[in-house]
C-alpha cells in the first residue's frame, strides 16, 4: 500500500538538498518550484511573495510563462492568490475559472489550467506569501496533498525570513517582512528608547525542519508534552497561584489545551509528513493563528494567546532553550517586547542595557509598569499585535512620550529620534553637573528638594539626582509587587534596607495607601462604584488595624536607634489622624514591653489630600508634626476631576487661581504655626508649577528623581521675592484677563529663568 507521507518526505529531503547547494538565488527558487511540481504531479507550481506595499509578486514558477516572473502582481485580496493571502487560508478548487475571485493575468498563460490548490506561506501567524500548484485536468486535491503543500510552504517561509530573497528583489522594493510599521499604544512611562527588540518569551526559530526518523520525533514530542503537562500542574499547585482567580483560570486553560487530543493529533500528523517535532509545533500553531487572527470575539482571541504561549513553552521544552543563552546574546540597547510580564521578570534583565519596554497588554497601574517607571525605563503599553510583528533583533523605537512604537523604522525617522535622544542626554548631562550645587534661589532662599520613591531600585537615584532625602516613600508599591502579604520580618528587612541604601539621608515613609486604583492582588476588597472615594488608605487601616499594626511594628523596629518619619495618607478628619497616631503609641508600648529598642525620635505627619482638612487647618497644624500636601489627590477632589480619566484630568489647570488659593491657604496656616510643610504631588516636578509653589511660599517639595535637575536649574535663576510681588496680587484678581500660568511664563521669560 502507498504510504501517503512518502511523497512529502521525499520532497522535503530534496528541498533540503537544494537549500544547501551553492546556487544563485533565482536558480534555487526555479529549481524548488520545479521540484514541488514534479513531486505533486502538478503541471504548475508558483511562488508569490508579499511585498511591503501589499502586492504579491510572482517570484518563481514552473509551468506558467517564465517571462511573467517578477512582473505578474496581485494586490492583497485580489484574485485567488490575493484571497488566500488576505484570509490566510488555503483554497482548493477543481475549476478555478468559475471562482468569483478569479482574475486573469494574460502574461501568465494560466487559462488552460483548471484545478488549483494554493496555501498561504506563514510565519508566526503572518502571511509572507502564497504557494500554488495547478493542473490542466479538473481534479479535487486530497487532504494529504494540501497538508504536503502547507509543509512545503514552511520551508519557503524560512527562506523568506532569513533574507535569502533580498538578492532577487528588485531595487527600491521591499518584502513585507521587513516593512516598517508604526503601532499606536498608550504612554505609560516617559522617555524614548532606541535599540533592538528582545522578545521576552522568544519564539524559538526552528531551523531543523525535516526529520530523519519519524518514530524518534514522535517519541520526543510525547516526552516534551509530558514535561509540559507536569510543569503546568506544578504551577497550578504553587501556593501563590492557587489563590488567584485570573491567573488560575489561564493555567487551567493551558492544562486543558495540553491534553487536547485534536491538537496532539495534528502535531503527530505533521511529524508523519516529515517535519521535526519543533517544526510540527510551529506549523500547527501558525495555521491556527492565521485562522483565528480574524476573529473578533475577545474570548476566543484571548484563548489564541493562551495557545500561543503554550506552543512557545512546548518549543522551549523541545529545543532545551534556556534563558542564559538569551542573556548572552543580549543587545547593548535592548527594547523588551512582551505580551505581558511580571515585575520580577523585568528585574531579572541586565538593567543598564534596557532602553525600553513594550507591552501588548498592561495598564499604568500594573506592577511591571510601576517598576519600570521606578527604574526610569520608557514604557508603551496596549500595543496591539506587536509581539507577532516583531522578530528578535529588529530595530525598534519605543516612544514613551507619545505612546508609539516604530518597528524597523526608516533611516530618516531613526536619525530624527537619535537626535532627540542625544539632545535630552545632553540636558541630563547639564543637570548632573548641578548635582552638588546647593538649591538656593538667586535672592538667597534655601529650598529643600527631595525625591519620591517606593522601591529599592529607586534609591541609587538619591545619590545621582542630588536630592536631599526621600520626601515620599510609597510603601504600598512593595506590597503591590509581592505575591502574598509580606510578613513583619520581611517588611522590617525591607525598611532597614531602604534606610541603609539612603546612606543617612532622611526618608519619610508613608503608611500603606491601598484601595482605589492601588490594588493588592491578595487583598481583595469588595467592588466599589467609586473606589477613589471608597474604603481605602487610612480608612481601611483603621477598620482593619491588623495590617497597619504589622507595618508600624516593622517600621519601628527598622528605625530603632534613629528617627522614624511617618505620615498617613487620605486623612479626612482630625479624629482619623488621632486614631492612627494612637496605633503607633500602642505598638511602641508593645515593643518596649518585649524589650525592643525604639526609635530615638518619631515624627508623625498627615498628608493633606482630602479637601475637608482645609476647614481643620488650625487643629491639623497643631497636632501633626509635619504636613505633606498630596496635590494629585487634593486637586482631583477639589475640582471633582478623576486623575486617571484623561477626558477630565486636564480639564482644569492646577495653576488656575482656584487651586493656587487652596495651596496658599495651606502654606500660610503651616507658617503661622511653624509646622513643616512639603508638597509631594506631580506639580512639584515640573519647573513652571514648581516655580509657582515657591512663589506661594513652599520651601520644601518632593518629586520624581528625574525632575530634580530641571527644577533646580529653574530655582537657581529665580528671584523669589520678585516673583511673590507680582504673583500674589494676581491670585486675588478674579477680573483679570490673563491667567496665572501666562503671568508665570512671562515672568520666567523676562527674567531668563529656564523652564
Ligand atoms: C498625591 O496624591 O499627590 C500623592 C503624592 O500621592 P499618590 O500620588 O501616591 O496618591
Ligand atoms: Mg495621594
Which three three-digit cell numbers place residue 716? 537657581
Q: How wide is the angle at C-alpha 169 spanned by C-alphas 85 and 196, nearest 5°?
A: 80
Long-range contacts, 411-418 (Cβ 8 Å, 24+): 413/180, 414/194, 417/192, 417/194, 418/194
| pLDDT band per the 50, 70, 90 thresholds, residue 302 | low
> How far apart, in whole angstroms, are the C-alpha atoms of residue 306 and residue 312?
10
Point out the ligand nearest to the CA of residue 682.
1
Secondary structure letter of residue 446 according to DSSP:
B
Is the CB of 474 inside a 6 Å radius of any atom of ligand 1? yes
Above 80 in pLDDT, residue 481?
no
126 and 228: one domain?
no
- Tell me if 327 is assigned to some domain: no
417 and 291: one domain?
no
**What stretches of 145-287 adopt beta strand conformation (E)?**
181-184, 186-189, 192-199
> How far apart, in whole angstroms, are the C-alpha atoms of residue 371 and residue 481?
9
23 and 130: one domain?
yes
> How far apart, in whole angstroms, are the C-alpha atoms of residue 711 and residue 731?
23
Tell how far the Cα of 565 is from the centroid of ligand 1, in angstroms. 17
> How far apart, in whole angstroms, are the C-alpha atoms of residue 130 and residue 122?
9
CA distances from 288 to 13, 181, 293, 303, 388 (A): 26, 24, 8, 11, 13
**Interval 474-489 mean pLDDT:** 86
Element housing 553 (H / E): helix 545-558
CATH value at residue 361: 3.50.30.10
Q: Are 541 and 511 in contact (CB under 8 A)?
A: yes
Percent of the chain's residues with pLDDT above 90 = 58
Cβ neighbors of 459 (< 8 A, separation 6 or more) are 453, 470, 498, 501, 502
What backbone torsions phi and psi does residue 594 show, to the nearest 5 degrees?
-95, 15
| pLDDT band per the 50, 70, 90 thresholds, residue 445 | very high
| pLDDT band per the 50, 70, 90 thresholds, residue 1 | very low
Q: Are 417 and 194 in contact (CB under 8 A)?
A: yes
Q: How wide is the angle at C-alpha 105 spanned by C-alphas 99 and 110, nearest 5°?
A: 75
633 and 700: one domain?
yes
Is the CB of 108 inside a 6 Å radius of any atom of ligand 1? no
Is the CB of 609 inside a 6 Å radius of any atom of ligand 1? yes
| pLDDT band per the 50, 70, 90 thresholds, residue 692 | very high
- Tell me if 205 is assigned to some domain: no
* Domain final residue, candidates 366, 401, 425: 425
How many other CB atoms sit within 10 Å of the CB of residue 71?
A: 12
| pLDDT band per the 50, 70, 90 thresholds, residue 15 | confident
544 and 690: one domain?
yes
602 and 514: one domain?
yes
> How far apart, in whole angstroms, are the C-alpha atoms of residue 191 and residue 400?
5
> How far apart, in whole angstroms, are the C-alpha atoms of residue 426 and residue 404?
23
**Interval 573-602 mean pLDDT:** 96
Q: Are 81 and 101 in contact (CB under 8 A)?
A: no
Q: Which of the listed residues 609, 679, 683, 707 should we mutate to test ligand 1's pocket, taking the one with most ligand atoms within 8 A of CB?
A: 609
Q: What is the edge-to-edge ordering of all strands in the sheet holding 115-123?
A: 73-75, 55-62, 44-50, 126-135, 115-123, 91-93
Looking from the CA of residue 629, the nearest atom of ligand 1 is 3
> How far apart, in whole angstroms, are the C-alpha atoms of residue 210 and residue 659?
70
- Tell me if 118 is assigned to some domain: yes
Active-site residue numbers? 367, 680
CATH value at residue 63: 3.30.450.40
Q: At what angle do helices 298-319 and 245-258 cross, to 10 degrees?
A: 60
* Domain final residue, candidates 374, 399, 425: 425
551 and 663: one domain?
yes
115 and 264: one domain?
no
* Domain final residue, candidates 288, 322, 356: 322
> How far apart, in whole angstroms, are the C-alpha atoms of residue 163 and residue 669?
70
305 and 396: one domain?
no
Above 90 in pLDDT, residue 16?
no
**What stretches of 518-611 adopt beta strand conformation (E)?**
563-568, 601-608
pLDDT tens for 599-618 read 999 999 999 999 999 999 99
> How far apart, in whole angstroms, are the C-alpha atoms of residue 159 and residue 29?
10
CATH value at residue 231: 1.10.274.10
Residue closest to 36 by CA, chosen among 206, 122, 153: 153
What b/e readout covers 299-329, taking b as 16+ CB neighbours within 10 angstroms?
eeeebbbbbbbbbbbbbbbbbebeeeebeee
Above 80 in pLDDT, residue 321?
no
**What stretches of 373-446 adopt beta strand conformation (E)?**
379-381, 395-399, 404-407
Number of domains in the chain: 4
Is the CB of 681 inside a 6 Å radius of any atom of ligand 1? yes
Pairing relation of β-strands 700-703 and 73-75?
Answer: unpaired
> How far apart, in whole angstroms, are the C-alpha atoms of residue 155 and residue 157?
5
Q: Tell me, what's the pLDDT at 441?
A: 98
- Tell me if 329 is assigned to some domain: no
**Which residue in the block uniquely carries the three cell numbers 506549523?**
283
Q: Are 276 and 217 in contact (CB under 8 A)?
A: yes
Above 50 in pLDDT, residue 252?
yes
**Interval 153-167 mean pLDDT:** 84
Domain that holds residue 713: 435-750
**SS3 label, residue 464:** helix
Burial of 525 (0-12, 13-18, 19+ CB in 10 A): middle
Percent of the chain's residues with pLDDT above 70 = 92
CATH value at residue 647: 3.20.20.60
Residue 375's DSSP bridge partners are none
Is the CB of 633 inside a 6 Å radius of any atom of ligand 1? yes
Tell how far the Cα of 638 is from the centroid of ligand 2, in angstroms. 13
Which three three-digit cell numbers place residue 628? 505633606
529 and 596: one domain?
yes
Q: Tell me, what's the pLDDT at 294?
A: 65
- Tell me if 515 is assigned to some domain: yes
Is the CB of 516 inside a 6 Å radius of any atom of ligand 1? no
Q: Across all residues in the chain, what is the average pLDDT?
A: 89
Which three three-digit cell numbers place residue 484? 502574598
Looking at the chain, how many residues does it have?
755
118 and 227: one domain?
no
Q: Are 523 and 485 in contact (CB under 8 A)?
A: yes
- Tell me if 755 is assigned to some domain: no
Q: How wide is the angle at C-alpha 568 spanned by C-alphas 525 and 514, nearest 5°?
A: 20
Looking from the CA of residue 452, the nearest atom of ligand 1 is 5
Q: At what angle do helices 214-237 and 277-292 cross, to 10 degrees?
A: 60
Q: Which of the listed residues 633, 635, 693 should we mutate to test ligand 1's pocket, taking the one with most ligand atoms within 8 A of CB?
A: 633
**SS3 label, residue 514:** coil
| pLDDT band per the 50, 70, 90 thresholds, residue 232 | confident
Q: Tell me, what's the pLDDT at 472?
A: 97
Pairing relation of β-strands 334-338 and 192-199?
Answer: parallel
**Interval 537-546 mean pLDDT:** 91
- Tell me if 487 is assigned to some domain: yes
CA distances from 679 to 232, 491, 573, 664, 702 (A): 48, 26, 19, 12, 6
Give the closest residue (by CA) to ligand 1 atom 6.
630
Listed range (119-128, 501-510, 699-708) with the worst mean pLDDT: 119-128
Is the CB of 631 inside a 6 Å radius of any atom of ligand 1? yes
| pLDDT band per the 50, 70, 90 thresholds, residue 368 | confident
144 and 45: one domain?
yes
- Tell me if 206 is assigned to some domain: no
Q: Tell me, what's the pLDDT at 370?
A: 76
Cβ neighbors of 61 (< 8 A, separation 6 or more) are 33, 44, 45, 46, 47, 68, 69, 108
Residue closest to 471 by CA, chosen among 453, 494, 489: 453
Q: Tell me, what's the pLDDT at 243?
A: 47
Amino acid at each position: 500500500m502507498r504510504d501517503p507521507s512518502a511523497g512529502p518526505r521525499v520532497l522535503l529531503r530534496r528541498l533540503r538538498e537544494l537549500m544547501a547547494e551553492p546556487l544563485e538565488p533565482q536558480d534555487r527558487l526555479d529549481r524548488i518550484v520545479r521540484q514541488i511540481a514534479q513531486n505533486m504531479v502538478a503541471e504548475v507550481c508558483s511562488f508569490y511573495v508579499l511585498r511591503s506595499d501589499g502586492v504579491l509578486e510572482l517570484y518563481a514558477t514552473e509551468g506558467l510563462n517564465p517571462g511573467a516572473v517578477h512582473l505578474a502582481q496581485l494586490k492583497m485580496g485580489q484574485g485567488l492568490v490575493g484571497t488566500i493571502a488576505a484570509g490566510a487560508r488555503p483554497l482548493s478548487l477543481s475549476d478555478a475559472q468559475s471562482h468569483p475571485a478569479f482574475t486573469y493575468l494574460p502574461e501568465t498563460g494560466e487559462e488552460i489550467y483548471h484545478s488549483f490548490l494554493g496555501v498561504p506561506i506563514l510565519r508566526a501567524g503572518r502571511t509572507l506569501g502564497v504557494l500554488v500548484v495547478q493542473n490542466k485536468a479538473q481534479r479535487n486535491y486530497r487532504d494529504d496533498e494540501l497538508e504536503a503543500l502547507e509543509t512545503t510552504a514552511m520551508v519557503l517561509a524560512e527562506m523568506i525570513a532569513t533574507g535569502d530573497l533580498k538578492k532577487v528583489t528588485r531595487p527600491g522594493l521591499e518584502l513585507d517582512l521587513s516593512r516598517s510599521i508604526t503601532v499606536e499604544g498608550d504612554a505609560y512611562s516617559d522617555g524614548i528608547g532606541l535599540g533592538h527588540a528582545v522578545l521576552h518569551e522568544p519564539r524559538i526559530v526552528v531551523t531543523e525542519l525535516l526529520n530523519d526518523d519519524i518514530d524518534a520525533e514522535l517519541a520526543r514530542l510525547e516526552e516534551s508534552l509530558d514535561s509540559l503537562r507536569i510543569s503546568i500542574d506544578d504551577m497550578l499547585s504553587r501556593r501563590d497561584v492557587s489563590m488567584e482567580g485570573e491567573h488560575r483560570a489561564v493555567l487551567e486553560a493551558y492544562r486543558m489545551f495540553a491534553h487536547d487530543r485534536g491538537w496532539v493529533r495534528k502535531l503527530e500528523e505533521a511529524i508523519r509528513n516529515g517535519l521535526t517535532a519543533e517544526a510540527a509545533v510551529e506549523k500547527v500553531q501558525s495555521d491556527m493563528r492565521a485562522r483565528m487572527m480574524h476573529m473578533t470575539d475577545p474570548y476566543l482571541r484571548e484563548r489564541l494567546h493562551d495557545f500561543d504561549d503554550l506552543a512557545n513553552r512546548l518549543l522551549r521544552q523541545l529545543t532545551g532553550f534556556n534563558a542564559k543563552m538569551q542573556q548572552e546574546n543580549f543587545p547593548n540597547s535592548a527594547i523588551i517586547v512582551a505580551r505581558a510580564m511580571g515585575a520580577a521578570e523585568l528585574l531579572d534583565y541586565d538593567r543598564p542595557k534596557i532602553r525600553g519596554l513594550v507591552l501588548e497588554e498592561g495598564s499604568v497601574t500594573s506592577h511591571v509598569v510601576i517598576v519600570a517607571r521606578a527604574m526610569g525605563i520608557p514604557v508603551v503599553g496596549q500595543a496591539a499585535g506587536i509581539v507577532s510583528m516583531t522578530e528578535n533583533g529588529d530595530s525598534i523605537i519605543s516612544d514613551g512620550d507619545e505612546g508609539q512604537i516604530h518597528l524597523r523604522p526608516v533611516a530618516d525617522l531613526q536619525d530624527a529620534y537619535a537626535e532627540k535622544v542625544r539632545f535630552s542626554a545632553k540636558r541630563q548631562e547639564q543637570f548632573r553637573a548641578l548635582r552638588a550645587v546647593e538649591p538656593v534661589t538667586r535672592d538667597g532662599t534655601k529650598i529643600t528638594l527631595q525625591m519620591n520613591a517606593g522601591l529599592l531600585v529607586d534609591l541609587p537615584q538619591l545619590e545621582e539626582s542630588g536630592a536631599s532625602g526621600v520626601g515620599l516613600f510609597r510603601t504600598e508599591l512593595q506590597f503591590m509587587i509581592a505575591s502574598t502579604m509580606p510578613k513583619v520580618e520581611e517588611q522590617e528587612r525591607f525598611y532597614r534596607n531602604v534606610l541603609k541604601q539612603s546612606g543617612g539621608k532622611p526618608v519619610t515613609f508613608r503608611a500603606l495607601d491601598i484601595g482605589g486604583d492601588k490594588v493588592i492582588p491578595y487583598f481583595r476588597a469588595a467592588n466599589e462604584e467609586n473606589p477613589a472615594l471608597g474604603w481605602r488608605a487610612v480608612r481601611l487601616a483603621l477598620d482593619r488595624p491588623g495590617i497597619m499594626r504589622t507595618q508600624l511594628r516593622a517600621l519601628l523596629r527598622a528605625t530603632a536607634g534613629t528617627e522614624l518619619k511617618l505620615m498617613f495618607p487620605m486623612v479626612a478628619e482630625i479624629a482619623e489622624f488621632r486614631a492612627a497616631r494612637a496605633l503607633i503609641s500602642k505598638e511602641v508600648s508593645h515593643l518596649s514591653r518585649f524589650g525592643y529598642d525604639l526609635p530615638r525620635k518619631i515624627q508623625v505627619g498627615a498628608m493633606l489630600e482630602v479637601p475637608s482638612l482645609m476647614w481643620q487647618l488650625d487643629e491639623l497644624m497643631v497636632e501633626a508634626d509635619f504636613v505633606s500636601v498630596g496635590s494629585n489627590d487634593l486637586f482631583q477632589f477639589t475640582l471633582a476631576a478623576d486623575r486617571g480619566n484623561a477626558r477630565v484630568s486636564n480639564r482644569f489647570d492646577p495653576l488656575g487661581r482656584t487651586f493656587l488659593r487652596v495651596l496658599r491657604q495651606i502654606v500660610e496656616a503651616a507658617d503661622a504655626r511653624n509646622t513643616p510643610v512639603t508638597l509631594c504631588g506631580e506639580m512639584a516636578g515640573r519647573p513652571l508649577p514648581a516655580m509657582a509653589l515657591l512663589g506661594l511660599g513652599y520651601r520644601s517639595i518632593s518629586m520624581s528623581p528625574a525632575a530634580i535637575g530641571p527644577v533646580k536649574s529653574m530655582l537657581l535663576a529665580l528671584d523669589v521675592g520678585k516673583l511673590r510681588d507680582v504673583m500674589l496680587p494676581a491670585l486675588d484678581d478674579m477680573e483679570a484677563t490673563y491667567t496665572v500660568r501666562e503671568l508665570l511664563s512671562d515672568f520666567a521669560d523676562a527674567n531668563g529663568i529656564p523652564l
